[in-house]
Chains A and B, each alone.
Chain A
Amino acid sequence: MIEITETIIDVAAVEAAVGGPGAGAVVTFMGTTRDSNRGRRVISLEYEVYAEMAVEQLTGIADDIRSRWPGSAVAMVHRSGKVEIGEASVVIAVSTPHRVEAFEACRYAIDQLKHVAPIWKKETFEGGEVWIGSLADCDHGDDQHADDSN
């Protein structure tokens, strides 16, 4: 299961997608939206996704995980559009025969997703708005190194 969705992510469905008789461990990562970032009160968040490419990139990450960790299964779902504070913006479930690999592979999945998925986050906070990541020529100073919301 690799999906971009505009609706609330069904975590149980993502976990169920990686279950099976060979799975000895399932690790789930859920990234949720915070109400503050660098001292500012965040009012709302919106994700913009280049969906066709994002699905291809996430499929590539999943393929990579299956070859690195034999016997693993991966499911990834990311939100697009407006996400309310406290909701999950991304859910990743990984199953492997043993637990150590499940943690490693799940960590690898979210790190890779953050690195290559063409997904952008815009925060609207009290007094303004900002694209996280941002461009060097229009940064609001400290935003370029803004923390990951997840």
Chain B
Amino acid sequence: MSAISIRVLYFGIVRERLGLHDEQLQLAADSTVAELLAHLSHKRGLNEAGVASLRVAVNREYVDNGHKLADGDEAAIIPPVSGGRGQKEPGRKESGDRETG
């Protein structure tokens, strides 16, 4: 398979800045979340500092940047959530977080 199709969801400040709630994207097979972010950064003009503060959820679970995307995935771009004080440092990996959930 040479390409995969995924649905990308945007929220909050990213949705507002892009003027877009969701879109269908074609990516190379075996693309990672990091490659998705690089693609969005390039195509949509989000700068590095902005991208570093984003988290990504695939099929409603947080994943880290090395996660491989599959055809039909729903990838949500998650800007920092509303809880100011308990917030993560930008760019911190999230892979262990859902152990508690």
Interface string of A124-140 (1 = CB under 8 A from B): 00000001111111100
Closest chain A residue to B48, Cβ basis: A137
Report the minimal beta-carbon distance from A54 to chain B, rounded to whole angstroms. 9
Contact among A47, A112, A146 with B84 in the assembled complex (CB-CB below 8 Å): A146
Chain A binding surface SS class:
mixed
* CB <8 Å contact, A135 and B100: no
By a CB distance below 8 angstroms, the chain B residues around A136 are 49-50, 52-53, 90
* CB <8 Å contact, A117 and B79: no
By a CB distance below 8 angstroms, the chain A residues around B100 are 64, 112
Contact among B53, B82, B86, B98 with A121 in the assembled complex (CB-CB below 8 Å): B82
Residue A61 interfacial (CB < 8 Å)? yes
Residues 1-32 of B at the A interface (beta carbon under 8 Å)? 9, 11-17
Chain B interface (Cβ within 8 Å of chain A)? Answer: 9, 11-17, 46-50, 52-54, 57, 60-62, 76, 78-88, 90, 97-98, 100-101
Chain A interface (Cβ within 8 Å of chain B)? Answer: 47-48, 50, 52-53, 56-57, 60-61, 63-64, 111-122, 131-138, 145-150
